[in-house]
Amino acid sequence: MADPISSIRNLGPAMEAAFARAGIFSAQQLRELGTDAAYRRLLQTGTRPHFIGYYVIEMGLQGRPWNDCKGKEKSALRARFDALVAGTAETHTTEIERILNRIGTGVRR
């Protein structure tokens, strides 16, 4: 039997459920995908972007405490996160949100 996602440091039942909605069911599958590909799948299945959630995954995959990310490393992760979110923005925006954004009255995320 495959190890559950919650066997990875920092990742609990809520994250395990979110990954299941994204088609990621085991710790091994998450490790093989890596942080960026796995987080992209979360975004594509409706998870709202949140930087802390992103770096919690990265730290967990490295076996480190979630709050161990600091300084230049955190800045580099933030740049990766921002690029990832920008690249998937349309996939987690509803049609009405896209229309409102196009005419300048939408809510910024």
Q: Which domains does the chain have, with CATH numbers?
A: 5-102 (1.10.150.20)
pTM of the model: 0.79
Per-position pLDDT tens, the chain of length 109:
789 999 999 999 999 999 999 999 999 999 999 999 999 999 988 888 999 999 999 999 999 999 999 999 999 999 999 999 988 765 555 667 667 767 766 555 4
Residues 6+ apart with CB under 8 A from 54: 35, 39, 77, 81, 84
